[in-house]
Amino acid sequence: MKPLENIIVLDLTRILSGPFCTMILADFGANVIKIELPDLGDESRLLGPYVNNESAYFMSLNRGKRSMTLNLKTEEGRALLKALIKKADVLIENYRPGTMDKWGLGYEEARNLNPKLIYASISGFGHSGPYMKLPAYDIVVQGMSGIMSITGQQDGPPTRVGTSIGDMVPGLFRNVGIMMALYHRTFSGEGQRLDVAMFDSLVAILENAIARYQVQKEVPKPIGNRHPAITPFDSFSTKDGYIIVAAGNPKLFEQLCELLGMPELIKDERFSEYANRHQHEKELKPLLEKGFSKFSQAEALAMLGNAGIPCAPINTIDRVMADPQIEAREMLVDIEHPVAGLLKLAGIPIKMSLTPGAVERPAPTLGQDTDQILKEFLGLTQDQIDDLRHRKVL
Amino acid sequence: MKPLENIIVLDLTRILSGPFCTMILADFGANVIKIELPDLGDESRLLGPYVNNESAYFMSLNRGKRSMTLNLKTEEGRALLKALIKKADVLIENYRPGTMDKWGLGYEEARNLNPKLIYASISGFGHSGPYMKLPAYDIVVQGMSGIMSITGQQDGPPTRVGTSIGDMVPGLFRNVGIMMALYHRTFSGEGQRLDVAMFDSLVAILENAIARYQVQKEVPKPIGNRHPAITPFDSFSTKDGYIIVAAGNPKLFEQLCELLGMPELIKDERFSEYANRHQHEKELKPLLEKGFSKFSQAEALAMLGNAGIPCAPINTIDRVMADPQIEAREMLVDIEHPVAGLLKLAGIPIKMSLTPGAVERPAPTLGQDTDQILKEFLGLTQDQIDDLRHRKVL
């Protein structure tokens, strides 16, 4: 049994943040109905890479959902959505603030139709404040939140995180909020509104940067991969890839120097003590990298691991996908798509003993379930559905 | 009313990932009891920066919780924890896999004491697989998951994300799991076990990198801040800071060149067409940055904003903290700590209309609530408590 099997989700979201959030709900059994505009659907269906003309980007974010088309720009389309709202537990949308209201589909209207509904909005800056109506991309909120200003090489430019955390982190916060609202509803019987912003969500994960700035009065900057207080605790290049070494205490440092064939570093007055070493980090790093240049990543890791020095590879994506731990944890799952064939997707990181999630069906083609959903939820006949389609409502 | 007011959480976590997770539960009303080893407590109490000898790092992750000391290395300490387990809804721990079992406090034992308990573990690699027992730091899982291999400047080294997403993202996944387990329990009456790994969680947010590698057979690499398919859509330096400009279509590009006083770029055959521009991105960027070098960040943003060209600042932390949207959204909250004084912390990004969260009390000093909790939950007398403390059980 999955924990969300009794939950019906109307998913009006597109691209990344909303679909990532509803994918997790679908993995755990929610009946997710993806509502897409006719003809094009979710814009991410156009994003590459493609397999047999199907977007692998879309496929990796929309597994386990059903798709129906609905033209919300028509009065009849909106009326059908209102009829579905009466049957739903959760509605999720990521239109620009104001759009749903303009369509007569805002929270007040939805609540009048269904007071138990949980109505969750995601947007760049939230449904209040001076930036409310501004558009946002992942890079915009990564930049504005301060995350880019503390990511990057020492003395280098601010750097975008290579995965879209500006979309995915708010997707996770929203899931927490949806689940808290569902939990509360089991006691109170009441639905409510959620408003999660991409900008707010990244500020919420700035971690100690906010405290550091207040206490030290220094604006935090990128410091590369090294630890702010311990040396050597950083990444180092080897013959064929990078590794991470965390040799914080004197004994580990001595062992490291011996293994690299550089015992002279132990006596070097720049590196002989804990504080010295950290102070001369910029001089020490190239020396250690010269030592590591004689080894491959695998050789260096084996040597350090055997000596008990904490270390790890910096894996490229191909190596991550071949990692035995990833296999043991089922963190890659095979999905057979009717058009695209076999594709490996990231698995489910929330491992539950009693109600585990499962990846059971591929992402839907555009509108593949429209007829089924309209019959199942609204009792429409095939003739009525054909007529709606003919008039471009579906 | 807050949604988790009826929930008692025994929090055995330390440092970052677990405390971040339970802080969110506390923000929404959960009765979080932080159980710490006597004398030192959560190791993050030792992490700087400090205010009046209190760790600002610790304070920013432990608001809204109560602290009690309990020596789990003693038989009596473990017996007291077992007595508390009988009264709790959720137990959260981040000890190395095997440690809780060794202490007779593993899931099977806890379930025997309280079948409704939700027992949530967080660890570097999870409670199965070949790496199960390996220690992990944020940088270790950032490296092993592939995130670092796709973050960084073009042709530059792999780069650590400047905030500890290796801790915070699994904290969020675990919160989703805890809430799903609580939701399920309202129907079934049954507790269960959760097992969330830092490594799994970062693999789950690799986004399109996994699909891209399978389809294109090329190992994804860092590409700086630019967009993989659109130019100019990147960060640019100005006189006094970086900005983001997303001038994807021809009209926006022409406007941009005019505003920068460089109309010659529009006719330049390297940049005259959409595909050309992207192909010659490396040549175009320094030219545009030369144009931006005449303007401050604020001037450039005002100029582009007035022309309708999508743009945004790359904010440093001081600017984020002064941002009017952050104020309007209450994304910084003032907390008065009895020892440290006033500290601003990140607010709550999950905005709920009916059951909003709130930040109501500062992080606890070590063991400040021990007596109160033992009296309230287990009915111990002050004499019994004093005796336990005398014998180093508390």
Q: How many Å is the maximal CA-CA distance in chain A?
A: 87
Write the residue in B194, B224, B243 that is nearest to A350 by C-beta: B194
Taking an 8 Å cut-off on Cβ atoms, the answer to whether B145 and A320 are in contact is: yes
Domain check: are B57 and B115 in the same one?
yes
A236-262 burial: b if 16+ Cβ within 10 Å, else e: bbbeebbbbbbbbeeebbebbbebbee
Q: Which of A43-57, B343-357, B380-394 has the lowest mean pLDDT?
A: A43-57
The answer to whether residue A73 sits within a structural domain is yes
Domain check: are B243 and B273 in the same one?
yes
Mean pLDDT of the B140-156 span: 96
Closest Cα partner for B136 from B96, B177, B103, B172?
Answer: B96
Residue B102 Cα, gap to closest chain A Cα (Å): 20
Mean pLDDT of the A289-309 span: 95
The pair of structure tokens assigned to A351 is 């491992």
The answer to whether residue B224 sits within a structural domain is no
Closest Cα partner for B241 from B318, B159, B169?
Answer: B318
Total Cβ atoms within 10 A of residue B218: 11
pLDDT digits (tens, 9 = 90+) for B303-332: 999 999 999 999 999 999 999 999 999 999
Domain check: are A44 and A179 in the same one?
yes
Contacts of B345 (CB under 8 A, 6+ apart): A210, A211, B59, B60, B63, B332, B333, B335, B359
pLDDT digits (tens, 9 = 90+) for B196-248: 999 999 999 999 899 999 999 999 999 999 998 889 999 999 999 999 999 98
Q: Residue A215: list chain B partners with CB under 8 A.
A: 49-51, 56
Q: Residue B207: list chain A partners with CB under 8 A.
A: 16, 60, 163-164, 168
Instruction: Place A55 in a pLDDT band, splitting at 50, 70 and 90.
Output: very high
Instruction: Place A275 in a pLDDT band, splitting at 50, 70 and 90.
Output: confident
β strands within chain A, DSSP E: 8-12, 31-36, 50-51, 54-55, 66-69, 90-93, 118-123, 192-197, 233-237, 242-246, 311-313, 332-337, 341-346, 351-352
Domain check: are B82 and B117 in the same one?
yes
Domain check: are A151 and A186 in the same one?
yes
Residue B188 reports pLDDT greater than 90: yes
Gap between the Cα atoms of B31 and B22, Å rounded: 10
**What was the pLDDT predicted at A7?**
98
Mean pLDDT of the A214-228 span: 93
β A66-69/A54-55 pair status? unpaired
The residues facing A92 across adjacent strands are A11, A120
Gap between the Cα atoms of B125 and B131, Å rounded: 6
Domain check: are A294 and A340 in the same one?
no
Domain hosting B167: range is 8-205+329-390
Residue A303 Cα, gap to closest chain B Cα (Å): 16
Q: Residue A137: list chain B partners with CB under 8 A.
A: 246, 310
Q: What is the DSSP letter of B139?
A: H
Instruction: Place B104 in a pLDDT band, splitting at 50, 70 and 90.
Output: very high
Gap between the Cα atoms of B168 and A172, Å rounded: 11
Mean pLDDT of the B179-204 span: 98
| Domain final residue, candidates B315, B345, B372 | B315
**What was the pLDDT predicted at B279?**
93
Taking an 8 Å cut-off on Cβ atoms, the answer to whether B225 and A139 are in contact is: yes
Total Cβ atoms within 10 A of residue B79: 12
Residue B40 Cα, gap to closest chain A Cα (Å): 20
pLDDT digits (tens, 9 = 90+) for B86-103: 999 999 999 999 999 999
Gap between the Cα atoms of A350 and A229, Å rounded: 33
Taking an 8 Å cut-off on Cβ atoms, the answer to whether B153 and A131 are in contact is: no
Q: What is the CATH number of the domain that holds B254?
A: 3.30.1540.10
Q: Residue B329: list chain A partners with CB under 8 A.
A: 125-126, 128-129, 197, 199-200
Q: What is the CATH number of the domain that holds B346?
A: 3.40.50.10540
The pair of structure tokens assigned to B65 is 């919780």
The pair of structure tokens assigned to B353 is 């209309």
The residues facing B243 across adjacent strands are B236, B313
The answer to whether residue B262 sits within a structural domain is yes
Gap between the Cα atoms of B28 and B360, Å rounded: 10
Domain check: are A240 and A295 in the same one?
yes
Q: Does residue A324 contact residue A332 with C-beta atoms inside 8 Å?
A: no
Mean pLDDT of the B364-389 span: 98
Mean pLDDT of the A242-257 span: 93
Domain check: are B23 and B74 in the same one?
yes
pLDDT digits (tens, 9 = 90+) for B274-311: 889 999 999 999 999 999 999 999 999 999 999 999 99
Mean pLDDT of the B369-391 span: 98
**Whole-model pTM?**
0.97
The answer to whether residue B322 sits within a structural domain is no
The answer to whether residue A2 sits within a structural domain is no
**What was the pLDDT predicted at A23?**
98
The answer to whether residue B277 sits within a structural domain is yes
Domain check: are B16 and B65 in the same one?
yes
**What was the pLDDT predicted at A173?**
98
Q: Give which of A2, A122, A329, A359 to mutate to test B binding, by max B Cβ within 10 Å.
A: A329
Gap between the Cα atoms of A12 and B230, Å rounded: 26
pLDDT digits (tens, 9 = 90+) for A330-350: 999 999 988 889 999 999 999
Total Cβ atoms within 10 A of residue B256: 23
Residue numbers of A annotated as active site: 227
Residue B108 Cα, gap to closest chain A Cα (Å): 12
Helix, strand or coil for residue A339? Answer: coil
pLDDT averaged over chain A? 96
Q: Give which of A96, A151, A182, A320 to mutate to test B binding, by max B Cβ within 10 Å.
A: A320
Write the residue in A176, A224, A332 that is nearest to B350 by C-beta: A176
Domain check: are A151 and A194 in the same one?
yes
Residue B249 reports pLDDT greater than 90: no
- Minimal Cα distance from A325: which residue of B? B129
| Domain final residue, candidates A318, A339, A369 | A318
Helices (H), B86-197: 99-102, 107-113, 138-144, 165-188
pLDDT digits (tens, 9 = 90+) for B5-60: 999 999 999 999 999 999 999 999 999 999 999 999 999 999 888 998 889 999 99
Q: What interface predicted TM-score (ipTM) does this complex get?
A: 0.97
Taking an 8 Å cut-off on Cβ atoms, the answer to whether A143 and B314 are in contact is: yes
The total of structural domains in chain B comes to: 2
Gap between the Cα atoms of A159 and B156, Å rounded: 11
Between the two ends of chain B, the Cα-to-Cα distance in Å is 33
The answer to whether residue B49 sits within a structural domain is yes
Q: Does residue A225 contact residue A231 with C-beta atoms inside 8 Å?
A: no
Residue B385 Cα, gap to closest chain A Cα (Å): 35
Write the residue in B176, B317, B331 that is nearest to A220 by C-beta: B317
Taking an 8 Å cut-off on Cβ atoms, the answer to whether A212 and B174 are in contact is: no
Domain check: are B201 and B237 in the same one?
no
Instruction: Place A47 in a pLDDT band, splitting at 50, 70 and 90.
Output: confident
Residue B193 reports pLDDT greater than 90: yes
Q: Residue B159: list chain A partners with CB under 8 A.
A: 151-153, 159, 224-225
Residue A274 reports pLDDT greater than 90: no
| Domain final residue, candidates A318, A340, A355 | A318
How many contacts (CB atoms, under 8 Å) link A and B? 472
Q: Convert A76-88 into a string of H (helix), E (strand) and C (coil).
A: HHHHHHHHHHCCC
The answer to whether residue A211 sits within a structural domain is no
pLDDT averaged over chain B? 96
Q: Residue A176: list chain B partners with CB under 8 A.
A: 24, 172, 175-176, 179, 350
Contacts of A85 (CB under 8 A, 6+ apart): A10, A91, A110, A113, A114, A117
Domain check: are B104 and B176 in the same one?
yes
Write the residue in A51, A153, A313 that is nearest to B143 by C-beta: A313
Residue A62 Cα, gap to closest chain B Cα (Å): 12
B96: left (phi > 0), else alpha (psi -120 to 50), else beta?
A: beta
